[in-house]
Chains A and B, each alone.
Chain A
Amino acid sequence: MRVCLAAMPWQAVDTPSLAVGILRRRVAEAVAGAQSTEYPGALRWAEYLLAETGAAVTPAHYMLVADKGIGHGLGDWVFTGALRDEPERRHSEWPADVPQGVVDPAVLERMRTLAAGFVAEATAEILALRPDVVGFTSTFMQTVPSLAVARAIKRQRPDVKVVFGGANCDGPMGHAIHRNHRFVDFVVRGEGEIVLPTLLERIEAGKPVADVPGLCWWDGEQSVANAMVAHQTVPPALIPMPDYDAWFAAMDVSPVREYLSPYLFIEGSRGCWWGERHHCTFCGLNGPRMGFRSKPADRFLAELTHLVERHRVLDVMTADNIMDMAYYRHLLPRLAETGWDLRIQFEAKANVSPQQIAQLSAAGVCAVQFGIESLNSRVLKIMNKGVTAATNLRVLRDSDDHHLTVLWNYLYGFPDESEHDYWPVIEQMPALVHLQPPAGATRIGLQRFSPYFEKPELGFAHRRPAKFYGRVYDVPEAELEDLAYFFECDDAGIAGGVEKALVEAIADWRANHPFSSLFRMEGPDRTLTLRDRRRGWPRRDHVLTGWRRDAYEALDRGRTEESLRRFLAEQEITVDAADLHDWLSSLRRHGLVFAEGDEFVALATTDVPVRMRTDD
C-alpha cells in the first residue's frame, strides 16, 4: 500500500508539518508493507506563487496570509473558487468586514487567480506518486485547499482513498466536513496515531470500519460517524519522533529557501495540566482532549538532539500548549549543558520563579508565551488563569533580566468584567513602558470546545459561525454550525470609552518601549539606584538607602503595605508606619511600582535586553 500524506497551505511554510512527520513514522512502524510519501503543499504553493508572479508574491506574503488571515478565513477564501471550478463567482464577494491593512486585497486576489492552476499541479504531483491513499491534515485554513486537491484527485482517480484528519476534523467538525463532501472517503476525528494505521489496514484488507473509534465513513450514500471514545488520548509512547527528512530535502533545493530560515517543530506534550483542573474559559485549543501527557525529558532531549544534528537547525518551536513542570528539573539543565546556541519557543504557565526564568534562558529558550492575557486579578479570575496581576508583572520584569521574549496579548471582553477592572491598569500603563508590551488589545472570540462555547450560560448565549465560513463553504447554513471552529457572538464586558482608552494606551506602550528602561544598579554602602530612562518620565536616578532598599527588593514578589511592614519587622528593621505609607505613595507617584488594590510590585529590572524595534 502506498500512502501519501499532504500538508496543504496555509501550514507555516518555514517548518515541516508535525502531523505529517509523526504519522509517516507511525505508518512505517505500525502498518506492515505500507510505503509512505508526502506532499509538502505549503512549500509548493509558496514556490508556485514565486514562479508565477516573477517573485512579486513572496513567502513573506504567504506568511502574512497564514498568520493574519486565520480569523477571517482569508486563506480558505483564496482556494474556494478552485474548490468549485468557479473562480469568478465569489470574486466580487471580497469580504467588506475584513479590516483594512490585514492583508493587501490585491495580493489575495492575485493568489486567488492562481489557485486553480496550483491545485492542478498539486494533484498531478501527488498522483505521480501512485498513491492508494492520500491523507490530508487540516488545521485552521488548510481545509478548503485540501478539499480542492482531494476533489481533483477523486475526479481523476476515483479508486484512490481520501482521508482527512487534524484539528479541524475534531468532534462535530469532522462529521460536517465528511457528510458535505462526498469525495472525502474517511475523516479521522481526534488523534491519528492509532486510528490511521488501523484504518489503513482495514482499507488494505477490504474489511469494515464500523468499529474504528471516531471515524467517519460512507455506508452507500450515507455518511456515518462512529462514536468518539470520550477523552481517549494517545499515550506518549505511541507518539514517535517526527520524520522530517523529506521536507528538509525539499526545502534545501527550493527557490524559496533564500527567503526563509527553517525551524524545527517538535512536541513534548499534549493536553494541558492546568486545564485538567481549571479550564481557561476562552480556550478551545485542546479540543475535547485536555488530559496532559508528556514525553520524559530523556526522550525529548534525545529527539531534539537527533533532529538538530540531522537537519542542522537551532531554531525550535514547540507545539506544547503548556510546558511540563518536570522539564524545569530534568530537561532545561541538560539543554544548558549542551553548550549549543539554541533558540527555543515554549508556552508555559506564568507562575514561575526568577530561578526558573533563568533556567529557561540558560537552556536556550528565547521566547515564551506565558499566557499573561491581563494585568487585572479580577479579570484573570474570571478567565480561570490561576494567576494574579502581581504574578504577571513579575514575569514581565524578570524575563527582561534574562533577555527572554514574552509573547502576549491583552485580552478583554469577558462577561462580568467592568470598566473598574481596566481604568487603574490603563492609568498605570505609562509606568510599564520599559517592560515588554502586549502585541495589542484583543477582544476575545468564541472558539469551539472552550467553556464559553460549551456553556452558553457563562455569557455567550447568542452565537453564530464566523461570517467567513459562509463565504468559503457552499453548504447549508445549518451545516456551518457543526463545521465552524470560530464563532461570533454579542460583545461582552467593556466597550466604548474604556475600550478605546485601553487600545490607545497599549499603542503608546508599544511605541515608547524601544526607547525606555528602568533598572536598578548597586551602589556603594548598599545603596540601590533606580535609573529611570522611560519615555514620558523625567530622567532621574532614585537612590534607595537603608530600609528603603530592603523594602523595594521585598516588593519584587508583590506585597501589601501590611505584608511589607511585617517583612521588615522580621528583618528587625523598624519603620514608622506613616513613613512606610508615604514612601509607598511616593513609589507609586514615580511609577516605580505597580499597584493593584493595596498590593505593590517593584517594576525596576536588573538588566535590559537589547531592543529590536518591531518596525525594523
Chain B
Amino acid sequence: MTPSYEHLALDRPRTHTLDHLVDLDTNAPARASKFIAWLRERQSEAENVVWHAHVDPALDPTLLYHLPPPLSVAGHQAPSPHPWLAAHRPAMCHYRMGPGFILVQDVRQPSTAARFELDEPALIDAFTHCLRPRQLTDLDGNRREAALALVAERLALRLGDWVTTLPTRMRRWPTPSPVV
C-alpha cells in the first residue's frame, strides 16, 4: 500500500530546495524562529520546501507538524518516516481572516483538535503582529499578555524570548476541497 505521505513529495513548481542542514536550535532562538516563520509562509503560499533538519530535543516538534516537513531529521533511523513527515497533512493548523475575527483550526494532534474564533482586538493584534517573530521584551504589556495566551494555546511558538505565530494562512486550498 502507498504510504500516506508520498503525495506530499510530489514534484511541484515553486519549490524551494535547501542544500544545508537546518538546525532548529533552541539556543539560537532568533534564527530558529525566523526559519519557522519563513516555513510557515511557504506553506501559506502552497509552496514546496525540500529540506533536512536537526531538531533540538528541547523543541516540541508536534508544534510544527503542520509546516512543510523535512525529508530527513538528523538522528532518525530509516526506513520508517520520522514522525513529522508521517504526521503532516495539508491544512492541519491554519487561520482565516474574516471581518473583525480570525478563525483558527488546529488538528495537529487529533486528541486535542480545536477551533478558535479570535475576536478580541488584543488577541487579533498579537496574532498578526507575531507573524513576524517578535521579542517579548519588545511587546507592551497587553500585547505580551495576549502573545503568551497564544503560546499557551499552542498557536504561537516561544523560543527563549522570541514568539512566532504558528498557523498558516489558508487562501490556497488543497484539491479537492469542496465546501460540501
**For chain B residues 85-137, which have a beta carbon within 8 Å of chain A?**
89-91, 95-101, 103, 115, 117, 119
Q: What is the chain A residue whose CB lies nearest that of B91?
A: A612
| B90 engages A610 (CB within 8 Å) | yes
**For chain A residues 58-90, which have a beta carbon within 8 Å of chain B?**
none
- Measured between beta carbons, the chain B residues less than 8 angstroms from A610 are 12, 46, 90, 172, 174-175
**Chain-B contact segment, one of A39-47, A322-330, A335-343, A496-504:** A335-343
From A367, A606, A614, B13 is in contact (CB under 8 Å) with A606
CB distance from A427 to the nearest CB of B (A): 25
| B98 engages A609 (CB within 8 Å) | no
| B178 engages A345 (CB within 8 Å) | yes
- Measured between beta carbons, the chain B residues less than 8 angstroms from A308 are 98-99
From A261, A405, A515, A607, B14 is in contact (CB under 8 Å) with A607
**For chain A residues 285-341, which have a beta carbon within 8 Å of chain B?**
305, 308-309, 312, 314-317, 338-341
CB distance from B1 to the nearest CB of A (A): 10
| B7 in the interface (beta carbon within 8 A) | yes
| B177 engages A405 (CB within 8 Å) | yes
| A613 in the interface (beta carbon within 8 A) | yes
Interface hub of A309, A436, A608 (most chain B Cβ within 10 A):
A608
| A403 in the interface (beta carbon within 8 A) | yes
From B98, B115, B171, B176, A614 is in contact (CB under 8 Å) with B176
CB distance from B20 to the nearest CB of A (A): 24
| B173 engages A403 (CB within 8 Å) | yes
Interface size bucket, B side?
Answer: 35 or more
- Measured between beta carbons, the chain B residues less than 8 angstroms from A317 are 179-180
| B13 engages A607 (CB within 8 Å) | yes
From B4, B177, B179, A263 is in contact (CB under 8 Å) with B179
| A514 engages B178 (CB within 8 Å) | no
Known interface pairs A521-B13, A533-B11, A609-B46; A436-B176 also in contact (CB < 8 Å): yes
| B176 engages A519 (CB within 8 Å) | no
Known interface pairs A315-B179, A514-B7, A610-B90; A309-B100 also in contact (CB < 8 Å): yes
| A405 engages B46 (CB within 8 Å) | no
From B6, B91, B99, B169, A515 is in contact (CB under 8 Å) with B6
Interface hub of B89, B100, B179, B180 (most chain A Cβ within 10 A):
B179
- Measured between beta carbons, the chain A residues less than 8 angstroms from B96 are 314, 340-341, 343
Q: What is the chain A residue whose CB lies nearest that of B2?
A: A515
From B117, B169, B178, A341 is in contact (CB under 8 Å) with B169
Q: What is the chain B residue whose CB lies nearest that of A361?
A: B172
| B78 in the interface (beta carbon within 8 A) | no
| B176 engages A316 (CB within 8 Å) | no
| A269 in the interface (beta carbon within 8 A) | no
Q: What is the chain A residue whose CB lies nearest that of B101?
A: A312
- Measured between beta carbons, the chain B residues less than 8 angstroms from A608 are 10-13
| B139 in the interface (beta carbon within 8 A) | no
**For chain A residues 236-271, which have a beta carbon within 8 Å of chain B?**
261, 263
| A517 in the interface (beta carbon within 8 A) | yes
**For chain B residues 128-175, which have a beta carbon within 8 Å of chain A?**
169-175
CB distance from B96 to the nearest CB of A (A): 4
Indicate with 1 or 0, residue by residue over A521-535, a CB within 8 angstroms of chain B CB atoms.
100000000010100
Interface hub of B100, B169, B178 (most chain A Cβ within 10 A):
B178
**Complex Cα distance A12/B180, Å?**
9
Known interface pairs A343-B173, A612-B174, A616-B4; A312-B103 also in contact (CB < 8 Å): yes
| A312 engages B176 (CB within 8 Å) | no
**Complex Cα distance A609/B47, Å?**
9
Indicate with 1 or 0, residue by residue over B5-24, a CB within 8 angstroms of chain A CB atoms.
01100111110000000000
| A27 in the interface (beta carbon within 8 A) | no
Q: How many residues of A contact B (CB 8 A)?
A: 45
- Measured between beta carbons, the chain A residues less than 8 angstroms from B14 are 607
**Complex Cα distance A341/B167, Å?**
14
Known interface pairs A367-B179, A517-B10; A613-B4 also in contact (CB < 8 Å): yes
CB distance from B17 to the nearest CB of A (A): 14
**Complex Cα distance A312/B170, Å?**
16
| B7 engages A611 (CB within 8 Å) | yes
**Complex Cα distance A403/B175, Å?**
7
| A609 engages B174 (CB within 8 Å) | yes
| A603 in the interface (beta carbon within 8 A) | no
**Complex Cα distance A343/B169, Å?**
13
Q: What is the chain A residue whose CB lies nearest that of B179?
A: A345
| A375 in the interface (beta carbon within 8 A) | no
CB distance from A71 to the nearest CB of B (A): 17
| A519 engages B173 (CB within 8 Å) | no
CB distance from B154 to the nearest CB of A (A): 18
- Measured between beta carbons, the chain B residues less than 8 angstroms from A316 are 179
| A339 engages B97 (CB within 8 Å) | yes
CB distance from A265 to the nearest CB of B (A): 9
| A403 engages B46 (CB within 8 Å) | yes
**Complex Cα distance A427/B55, Å?**
48
**For chain A residues 12-51, which have a beta carbon within 8 Å of chain B?**
12
| A366 in the interface (beta carbon within 8 A) | yes
- Measured between beta carbons, the chain B residues less than 8 angstroms from A517 are 10-12
**Complex Cα distance A314/B14, Å?**
28
- Measured between beta carbons, the chain A residues less than 8 angstroms from B91 are 612
Q: What is the chain A residue whose CB lies nearest that of B97?
A: A341
Known interface pairs A403-B172, A519-B12; A343-B100 also in contact (CB < 8 Å): no
| A340 engages B170 (CB within 8 Å) | no
From B12, B13, B169, B176, A612 is in contact (CB under 8 Å) with B176
| A340 engages B99 (CB within 8 Å) | yes
**For chain B residues 39-54, which have a beta carbon within 8 Å of chain A?**
46
| B169 engages A367 (CB within 8 Å) | no
Given contacts A403-B175, A612-B90, A614-B176, 19 further A-B contacts (CB under 8 A): A261-B115, A305-B99, A309-B99, A312-B98, A314-B96, A314-B103, A315-B179, A317-B179, A340-B96, A340-B98, A340-B99, A341-B96, A366-B179, A407-B178, A517-B12, A521-B13, A608-B11, A610-B90, A610-B175
Can you list 18 A-B pairs with a CB-CB distance of less than 8 A? A261-B115, A263-B179, A305-B99, A308-B99, A309-B99, A314-B98, A317-B179, A317-B180, A341-B95, A341-B97, A366-B173, A400-B175, A516-B10, A607-B12, A610-B175, A611-B10, A611-B175, A616-B89
